[in-house]
Amino acid sequence: MNKVILMGRLTKDPEVRYSQSATPVAVAKYGLAVRKPFVKQQGDPDVDFFNIISFGKAGEFAEKYFRKGQMVSIVGRLQNNNWEDQNKVKHYGVDVVAEEQHFAESKTSAESRGVVTSNSNNYSPYNGDNANTPAPSNNTDMGGFTPNIPMEEDDDLPF
């Protein structure tokens, strides 16, 4: 089994290139800084840095929506990245090939920290086929979450 789950902040905006095949495929590369659960002796957090690669639509998604500093979660697999340079010196590395990539913070939270997200000022949610349905109002900022909905009390629940 080869499965990796990471959550961290992007160290740079994704860079996308396209394969040279008959049907070009997007290949996005970006860095992810993942904080370790302990700190260094100096009190600074200890961080691991990973190279992430995403292909196809996932690569295009990363290019369009991911920005340096954003908190994201990645589910993927490890892939060896070994090569030999011009001087015949062997280099060894490991990349994470993303199978899933998700936002791990709200858009509002990212923007409050100064991360400029794509389409920041012109977001319009998809309303399905009915174009006459009004878009949800942006007057109430919920930070990307739904409002608290009162629930009925049920004293018969065992928890």
Query: What integer pLDDT is reported at residue 147 of this predicted model?
Result: 45
Stretch among 2-6, 23-27, 111-115 having the lowest mean pLDDT: 111-115
Q: Average pLDDT in the 7-24 region?
A: 94
Give Cα separations from 83 to 21, 80, 98 (angstroms).
22, 10, 21
pTM: predicted TM-score of the whole model, two decimal places: 0.66
Q: Position of tokens 């009004």?
A: 134
Q: Which of 116, 159, 125 shows the shortest CA–CA distance to 144? A: 125
Cβ–Cβ under 8 Å, residues 109 and 82: no
Question: In the chain, what are the domains?
Answer: 4-112 (2.40.50.140)
Task: Check residue 131 and report its DSSP letter.
Answer: T
User: What is the Cα–Cα distance from 144 to 114, expressed in whole angstroms?
Assistant: 17
Tabulate helix, strand, coil % of the chain (nearest 5).
10, 40, 50
pLDDT in tens, 128-150: 343 443 444 444 444 444 444 44
Q: How confident is residue 43, by pLDDT bands cut at 50, 70 and 90?
A: confident
pLDDT at 63 over 90: yes
